[in-house]
Amino acid sequence: MVQQSAAQLLDAVFIICKYCGELALATETMMVNLMDTVEQNVDDDDDENCEPKLGHDIRQAFLSGCDLFVDKSLQGGLKNVEESELKIQTFSDGYTTKSQVSDEVLKHIEIVTATTKILLLKCQEVQVELDTTMRESLDNKPENYYHRSYRRSQRLITHISGLVDGVALLIQAVEPLVEGAESDLRRVLRCAEMIQRSTVKLVAVSSSNLETFSGTITDNQSECSETSILSDSQSEQMDLASQEVRLATNTLIGLVKKNVTANSSAATPTKSKRLLPMSPEKPGKLTASPHTHQKSRNISRNISLVDH
C-alpha cells in the first residue's frame, strides 16, 4: 500500500513538472537555469552534506512538457497554413482582369503556402522522433544540456510562429490586390522575404546540437551543421523541405519585382512638348484687313468732295 501510494505520488510529481514545462513555454518564461540545486545543512557547511534537490527525471519531465507545447504549436501552425492555402485557392478561382497581380503570381503564392505546409509537417515528424530518443534516456546529461534544450524549444516556437505569420501576412497583402483595390505590391515582396528568413532559422534551430547550442541563429547560418542532432535521413528531409520553400519564395520575389517595375513604368507619364502662347505682333507690322482698306478709301473720297 505504501509503495503504491509512493509510486502514484511520484507520477503526480512528474505530471506536474510536465505541465510546468508546457506552461513555461506558453507564458514565455525565461528560465535562469535547470541545474541541480542543493539543500545546505544549516549546522554543517561541509559539501559532503549537500544532496541533489532537482534530479534528472524531474528535469526530463519538465522538458517533455516543453516538447508537448512545441508539438501543439506545430499542429496549430499547420491548421493556420491550411486555412491560408484554401483562401489563396479561392483567390485563384475568382481571379478577374481588375486584379493588380498576374495569375502567375497567385499560382506561386499558392506554391509558397504548400511548400511551407510540407516543411512544418517534416519538422513535426522529426521533432516527435527526437522527443522519443532524447527524453527516454535514463542517463544524466551535462548540466548545460537541460537549459539549452529549453532554449531550443523557445527558439522553435519563435520561428514556427514567424513562418506561420509570414504566410498569413502574405495572404493579407495579396487579397486587396486581387480585388482590384489600391495597395502596395511590395508588401507581398516583404512577406516572401520574411518567410525565407523564418525558414532558414527554423531548420537551423531544429538541427542544432544541444551541447554547443547558444540560442543565437543568424540569417546566413547553415541549416545542418556538422554537429547536428539530426540523423542523416532527418537532415536530408528537413534540407529538401527548406530548399523547396526557398525556391518558391525566390521565384515569387522575382515575379513580384517584375510586376512592380512594370506598374512603375505604366504609372510614369510621358513627357509632351510644351505649347507656348503666341507672342503678340508689333503695332508697326499689323496687317490691315480688306474692310479697313475700303473704309480708308471712302474717307479719302469724302474729303475730296468737301474740298470741291
pLDDT digits (tens, 9 = 90+) for 190-249: 999 999 999 999 998 988 766 554 545 455 444 444 456 778 888 888 999 999 999 999
d(CA 38, CA 222): 40
Asked whether the beta carbons of 134 and 192 are under 8 A apart, the reply is no
pLDDT of res. 223: 41
pLDDT of res. 191: 92
pLDDT of res. 243: 94
State the amino acid at position 118 in one-letter form: I
Q: Map grid coordinates 532554449 to a residue.
A: 151
Phi (first) and psi of residue 211, to 5 degrees:
-75, -25
Q: Is the pLDDT of residue 59 over 70?
A: yes
d(CA 80, CA 55): 38
Asked whether the beta carbons of 157 and 118 are under 8 A apart, the reply is no
Q: Average pLDDT in the 127-154 region?
A: 76
Q: Is the pLDDT of residue 80 over 60?
A: yes
Q: Nearest to residue 175, comparing CAs of 188, 162, 161?
A: 188
Give the relative orientation of helices 56-93 and 2-26 as an angle to the nearest 10 degrees: 40
- Top-confidence range, 27-41, 48-62, 69-83, 223-237: 69-83
d(CA 67, CA 65): 5
pLDDT of res. 142: 72
pLDDT of res. 187: 87
Q: Is the pLDDT of residue 138 over 60?
A: no
Asked whether the beta carbons of 106 and 88 are under 8 A apart, the reply is yes
pLDDT of res. 280: 53
pLDDT of res. 94: 64
- pLDDT band (50, 70, 90) for residue 134: low
Which of 5-9, 116-120, 171-175, 282-286 is predicted with the least confidence, judged by mean pLDDT?
282-286
C-alpha cell at 257: 519585382
d(CA 4, CA 129): 32
Greater model confidence, 19 or 31? 19
Q: Strand, helix or coil at 8? A: helix
d(CA 116, CA 77): 10
- pLDDT band (50, 70, 90) for residue 30: confident
Q: Give the DSSP H/E element, type plus range, for residue 167.
A: helix 143-178
Asked whether the beta carbons of 24 and 66 are under 8 A apart, the reply is yes
With a CB cutoff of 8 Å and minimum separation 6, the contacts of 92 are 103, 106, 107, 110
* Beta strands 38-39 and 51-52, pairing class: antiparallel
pLDDT of res. 277: 55
Which of 7-16, 127-136, 158-167, 291-300 is predicted with the least confidence, judged by mean pLDDT?
291-300
pLDDT of res. 2: 74
Q: Is the pLDDT of residue 258 over 70?
A: yes
The number of helix segments (H) and strand segments (E) in the chain equals 7, 2
pTM over 0.85: no
Average pLDDT, the chain: 75
Q: Average pLDDT in the 97-105 region?
A: 66
Asked whether the beta carbons of 67 and 131 are under 8 A apart, the reply is yes
State the amino acid at position 105 in one-letter form: V
Asked whether the beta carbons of 195 and 170 are under 8 A apart, the reply is yes
Q: What pLDDT digit, counting tens, does each position of 109-126 carry?
A: 999 999 999 999 999 998
